[in-house]
Structure 1
Amino acid sequence: MNIDEDHPGFDNEAVWPRRLLHVPSMTSYKWAPGNRYGGRQNPSYIAVSYTWGRFQLRHPDENPHVCALPIRGISWPVPRVDPDVHFSVDQFQHVIYEMMKTAERHYEFDYTKDQRTLQKTPGSWLVRPLLRWLERHRMVYEFLWLDIACIDQRPGPIQMAEIGRQARIFQNAAHSYVWLSHLSYDILESILDNLRVAVSGLDQEPYNRTEPPYNCHTWISQAIQSIGDLTNDPWFKSLWTLQEGFMCNHAIILSKEGRVLCDTSRVVVRSFSLDNLFGITYSIIQWSERTRTPCKDLELLRLMDLIHKTGLAALFCNNPMGLLGISYNRNPTNELDRVYGIMQTLGPDFRVGTDSTHRYTLNELENEFGDAILRTCPVLSQMHVHLQAPAMGSGWRVQANSRVPWMAERGDMFGWNCGNRVETNIEISPLALCSLSTCNVGNTLWARISGKACDFEDLQRGWKSADNSEYANKINQSLWRMHGCTDQAIHMIALDRGTYLDPQPPGLDILNVEASHELAAWMTEKSRRHKLVVFLLGQCSFNMEMFCSGVIMFKREEHGISHWCRVGICTWLYSHMREEDKFHPLWSLLKGDSENWYHIEGLFG
């Protein structure tokens, strides 16, 4: 069947869905010319992210008394969900009606200045009951994008086409929800309150390292418990919700009953969203970069591992390169969904595995995924680190064991222009300065690189001299200090695991001047037998600041193939090395223009 056969005249590149569910009548309406649904033109609609696939009753004789959600206007059977392990039809219907109400279901006059205690004012007594009544009975929206009502559930080109348009659909919605269907309002509120308290306790650790040691373990344990309780909800285990959570980070969180929670941490109270949750998690990560708790402390390792494996860290980042790794912590029905289920995070037009005549393997699909990123966003394609040594020839691409280091959390600074996760007015202008492509050697897809490189030792000395120069104090006022550090070096390094530089000495992963230069010096000394070079990926300017990014690598020969092998990535600031028309002698080196930089090319992987 042609993908337009069911919807003549429909533009597959449009932002509008093929169908929308009209909730008052529970009717799924097709798109019609003029963006009409059931006679309504350009209707405002909301979208919801939830999970049901693993709880589906797949055979008619399995719990035959369980009915499906009643939806009119469709020709496919609506999936039935097992109410004993997930949610009932009545619960689902109730939550759908709740979603049709205003997104901000709270009243600011109810709160005192500390925003935690109800204020019983005349307005509260007179107006609040009226608003509550309106909230209980009035629908603000009529249309909902609900997957089982708006995507043909029968496998085929129409289904695949609409699945491939979810980025557009969510982005065009008036707003979106995330339904945590296993957590009641009271339990969810308690979990989030406990998590806030734990983060507040961690943040009290002094920045000054001359202070007496601070005991963080009570707060670490509380954070582990809270995050564990929260992410036990099935929404955090589904693969497709990983993509939806990344694309709609402003989505409002709904409890099991369909109630919203309030974020009272702001001056103006708002409904609690994924953004709020990810921000709380990021506070833990910021604390982890400066804490004096030993990095091998078992409780600390457990906390950070939980944050990364559940996806909370990757979902905070404005960089989609960590999502493939998170997809391996989730259990899809189809292995290929590890790629299909996240590819739209790279952009609404980003599609791989589109050849319907070919039966893809997961490795082929991951190669195509990595190749597409390499060609469209060459700098971004390297902004991750490997947690395990990749197979020979595949080190160029993002892997199942890839993770985004915090120096690369801003994908918009590395050429990815689809991110909306950082609310800032800073003008950002990234520029790629390399050529990356792929080629087949035997049965392996390799990358081929061409561009400038500099000996790591030369750059390491330049970083050290720059931080010892009269210009160094300018970095203290720079936006380069993005990690809440008291002091930060001109450069940042993130190393891959599984190389000859692994493990690195303890204490050198802290983002401050001393540790950063000690790490670079240790790498130089450790690499006497391996000539490390930095391959220049690109530059970026942001609000009068400029920095470069590169891949750290060395030349090796394996099985008769000479190639460049990466050991990590690095970024370094250089804009502060000038004052008006006066340039520091290190300016050219740090910008990538000096005679220290020379041309290299070859296989990379």
Structure 2
Amino acid sequence: MFPDPDSAPEFDDECAWPRRLLHIPTLTSVPWAAGNFYGSDCEPRYIALSYTWGRWRLETGDRVDVPALPVKNVTWDTPRVQPEHFTAAELRNVLESAPRVFSESQDVPDALIEYAWLDVACINQTAGAVEMALEVGRQAKIFKGATMTFVWLTTLSENEYLAQREKNEQVAKQKKALATTRLEQQRAGWDSIRAEVEDLTSDPWFSSLWTLQEAYLAPHAFIMTRKGEWLDSMILDRFIEYCQLMQGIVLHDQLYAPDPSVRNDECLLKLKKALDHSGVSGLTWQLPLTLLGAARYRKTTRAEDRVYGIMQVFGFRLGKSRPGVDPSRKFDMTELEDELGRELLEREPIMSQMHIHAELPPVGQGWRITSTSEQTRKLRLISYGPNRPPIKDLGVQVQLSTVNLGGTLWGSFNGRLCAFSKLAHAWESFGAFGSGNGIVDLDCSQHTIVNNPKQILQEALDLSYSHPDAAVLLLGKNDNLNVALGLLLAPRPVEAERLERADIWQRLGLCEWSTRAESAAGTDGETDTAALYGGTSSDWSSCTGVFG
């Protein structure tokens, strides 16, 4: 029925189909053939399974009594996994259960899907295999092409989960009934939400970087228990939306609570931490950089997987997964992060800078994402909420690329610069509540929750005093939304002298402001101020330079 793997035709790497699919009834790995045939089936529907196993892989000779999934028609050894994590029988059971669950959910119980994409059965597991490197770079196509993706939580029991959820709800009711203040009632609610989030996200699936990428690519996945049950009819995007809503509530309570002590309340901060560690807040936007904060909490077997495990959300094929590259070549983290940064810089210049460095990056590397990057924490352009983030509607106002200086890859720009002090003092002249006020979010700074316009203004003024030579590079703006975004830069005199260039800058962070020039009293601002905010006044000059 199925072709011999050694006689399979050469694969078309540009096609939208996987190199192989697993025929579930026979556990046969079937190679692709021209016309998108798998055996005698043309373009069959298939499910995809998102799960984690690499940290529990058994080495050759370890626990030889533990069997692997008996996949037929492959030239590699199917990996064996510690049975405490899951057994081969349990993996087979979930593969057989998933098509049934999906068909019943669609009210077509007889129309079972017979194929699955399962990494250990469909990607050559031989170390250094060309197919492995190339197929890792095609995950976006594979997951988007699946009829349905299933998330397998291998530590979860449906009965235990539902019982624990009911217990959490009862505890919350008791706490609220005993509460004597509004804050105590809020704490009871925060604790209940945190417990529910932690109960579900304690599963190892929520700690894997590879599955974070898969969640982004397939947010409508069904969530399955270890026994192959559909967990309380739960779909991943419902949980994502729930966490997103809770994140919005947390930020609202921190920003607008009448009592300032609420902002640092222990219960509220614990809930925020649980949501951050869940790694799903922000996924509803389909904005790749919202994954950065979550990625810091995810685990990988190899350091380089921090790039390979997330590159597909940007649509990139990097390092050894790039077609034509020797798959046996080793790429170090600097090379991979440079490659990811360069692709992002050139294809999505605004998005490439929508992050904050939690730690000071090495000289010359501040232009790109690093392993300690986080999504920007304050800017309204990327604030939490159910709607489309305004960043997607900004018009690009700059050209960004890279240049090699002294063996280090730096970012380079061609755009408009303005002295930051000019903007900051214009905001000051309109008063803290003027509509032209701006927000700064600085690299390597303590994250402060801003709930006071005067505090927002003071942070900007403090920066203008501590860095009087700081400049703003206009990244993008939208006149309909009356918003502009800039990159904060400061001269690097030491590197300028060493590299014999005067145009070397350090990235300080990001800056966002309203392009409307109205004072707190509501009167029109000066024409010059409106031009300043819009990036068209004589205060802005066309410049080229290097930053990092």
TM-score normalised according to structure 1 size: 0.75
Which one of the candidate residues 504, 507, 527 is aligned to 1:566? 507
Q: Does the C-alpha gap of structure 1 residues 175 and 454 become closer, same or farther in structure 2, counting only changes over 3 Å?
A: same
Which residue number in structure 2 is paired with residue 441 of structure 1?
405
Q: Output the CA distance in 2 between the equivalents of 1:238 and 1:351.
A: 20
Alignment of 1:419-498 (within 5 A): 429-463=393-427, 491-497=438-444
Q: Output the CA distance in 1 between the equivalents of 2:391 and 2:305.
A: 35
Q: Output the CA distance in 1 between the equivalents of 2:42 and 2:196.
A: 44
Which residue number in structure 2 is paired with residue 482 of structure 1?
none
Q: Output the CA distance in 2 between the equivalents of 1:390 and 1:44.
A: 46
The answer to whether the 8 Å contact 2:318/2:336 transfers is no
Which one of the candidate residues 481, 484, 492 is aligned to 1:548? 484
Question: Given residue 417 of structure 2, which amino acid in structure 1 is its aligned partner?
Answer: A
* 2:219 is aligned with 1:249: yes
1:520 CA displacement: 2.8
Which residue number in structure 2 is paired with residue 160 of structure 1?
133
The answer to whether the 8 Å contact 1:319/1:411 transfers is no
Which residue number in structure 2 is paired with residue 364 of structure 1?
335
The answer to whether the 8 Å contact 2:357/2:373 transfers is yes
Residue aligned with 2:252, SS = coil
Alignment of 1:118-157 (within 5 A): 138=110, 140-155=112-127, 156-157=129-130
Which residue number in structure 1 is paired with residue 17 of structure 2?
16
Residue aligned with 1:396, SS = coil
The answer to whether the 8 Å contact 2:21/2:116 transfers is yes
1:558 CA displacement: 2.9
1:15 CA displacement: 1.0
Which residue number in structure 1 is paired with residue 161 of structure 2?
188
Question: Given residue 93 of structure 2, which amino acid in structure 1 is its aligned partner?
Answer: H
1:33 CA displacement: 1.6
Q: Output the CA distance in 2 between the equivalents of 1:384 and 1:232.
A: 27
Which one of the candidate residues 255, 262, 284 is aligned to 2:246? 284
Which residue number in structure 2 is paired with residue 260 of structure 1?
230
Which one of the candidate residues 510, 518, 523 is aligned to 2:450? 510
Question: Given residue 88 of structure 1, which amino acid in structure 2 is its aligned partner?
Answer: T
The answer to whether the 8 Å contact 2:381/2:391 transfers is no
Alignment of 1:178-257 (within 5 A): 178-190=151-163, 216-257=186-227
Q: Aligned pairs, how many?
A: 518
* 2:310 is aligned with 1:342: yes
Question: Given residue 54 of structure 2, which amino acid in structure 1 is its aligned partner?
Answer: G
For each residue in 1:191-216, what CA deviation from the matched residue of structure 2 results, as whole angstroms up to 9, or x when unmatched?
666789999999xxxxxxxx975654
Q: Does the C-alpha gap of structure 1 residues 190 and 594 become closer, same or farther in structure 2, counting only changes over 3 Å?
A: farther
Residue aligned with 2:149, SS = strand
Which one of the candidate residues 444, 452, 459 is aligned to 1:519? 459
Q: Does the C-alpha gap of structure 1 residues 359 and 75 become closer, same or farther in structure 2, counting only changes over 3 Å?
A: closer
TM-score normalised according to structure 2 size: 0.82
Residue aligned with 2:33, SS = coil
Q: Output the CA distance in 1 between the equivalents of 2:341 and 2:390.
A: 29
For each residue in 1:410-447, what CA deviation from the matched residue of structure 2 results, as whole angstroms up to 9, or x when unmatched?
789xxxxxxxx988699964432112222223243222
1:74 CA displacement: 2.1
Residue aligned with 2:100, SS = coil
The answer to whether the 8 Å contact 1:318/1:410 transfers is no
- Greater CA drift, 232-241 or 290-299: 290-299
* 2:38 is aligned with 1:37: yes
1:346 CA displacement: 0.5
1:604 CA displacement: 0.8
1:458 CA displacement: 2.8
1:167 CA displacement: 0.7
The answer to whether the 8 Å contact 1:44/1:173 transfers is yes
Question: Given residue 101 of structure 1, which amino acid in structure 2 is its aligned partner?
Answer: R
Which residue number in structure 1 is paired with residue 367 of structure 2?
396
Which residue number in structure 1 is paired with residue 257 of structure 2?
none
1:345 CA displacement: 0.9
Q: Output the CA distance in 1 between the equivalents of 2:155 and 2:540.
A: 57
1:335 CA displacement: 1.8
Q: Does the C-alpha gap of structure 1 residues 391 and 195 become closer, same or farther in structure 2, counting only changes over 3 Å?
A: farther
Question: Given residue 228 of structure 2, which amino acid in structure 1 is its aligned partner?
Answer: G
Structure with the higher helix share, 1 or 2: 2
Q: Output the CA distance in 2 between the equivalents of 1:248 and 1:91.
A: 23
Q: Output the CA distance in 1 between the equivalents of 2:174 and 2:407.
A: 53
The percentage of aligned residue pairs carrying the same residue is 31
* 2:81 is aligned with 1:81: yes
Residue aligned with 2:49, SS = strand
